[in-house]
Amino acid sequence: MTTIDPDRQSGPAGQAAALAELAERHFELAMTAAPFDATVVGVDGYDAEVPDLSEEAAARQRDALAELQRRLDAIDPEALDGQDRITHAMLRRAFEDRRAELAAFLKERGIQTGVHYPVPTHRQPAVEHFAPSPLPVTERLVDEILTLPMSADHEDEEIDRVVAAVREFFGA
C-alpha cells in the first residue's frame, strides 16, 4: 500500500486520498486484531487467521493506531466534501473509543474484561417485536461499556488491583 501523508497533501483531493487510506488501514488493523469477528461478519481473507494475543502484538496495534490518529489529526475536515467529512468523523469517534485499548492494557496486566451486553435490552429479540422507541444514548453506550472483574466474590486486594490498573491507564 502506498502511504499518503496528509502533512504533504494540499487541497481537498489530497486530504480525501489520505483519509481513504487511513480508513482502509484502520479497517485492516481491526480485522487483523479480530479475525474471528471478520469471519463472522463475512470479510474475506481472515478465515484461516488466528489472533495474535501476545503483548508484543498489542503494543504493535497500539503504536499503529497512534500513528493513524496522528495522521488523522493532520487532515482538516473542513477541506473535505460531505461523505469524507462523515468518514473523518467516524474515524475520529473510533479513535476516541478507548474500550479496546483499555481491555488490551488490562489484559497485559493479567486482568480479564468482557463485553457482556453488546445488544441493548430494547433491541433483544424478546422485546424487539414491541417496537420500542429508539434509545440513542443506550445504543451508543453498548459500544463503550467494558465489564471489569469486580463482584462480591472478589477479594478487596483483587478489586484494588483492577482499580489501580484503570487509574494507571487514564493517568489518574
Identify the pLDDT of residue 6. 47
Percent of the chain with pLDDT over 70: 92
Mean pLDDT of 16-24: 91
Over residues 50-105, the pLDDT tens digits come to 888 787 887 888 888 889 989 998 998 888 988 898 889 888 877 777 788 888 88
Concatenated DSSP letters for 22-40?
Answer: HHHHHHHHHHHH-HHHHHH
Residue 11 has pLDDT above 80, yes or no: no
pTM of the entire predicted model: 0.55
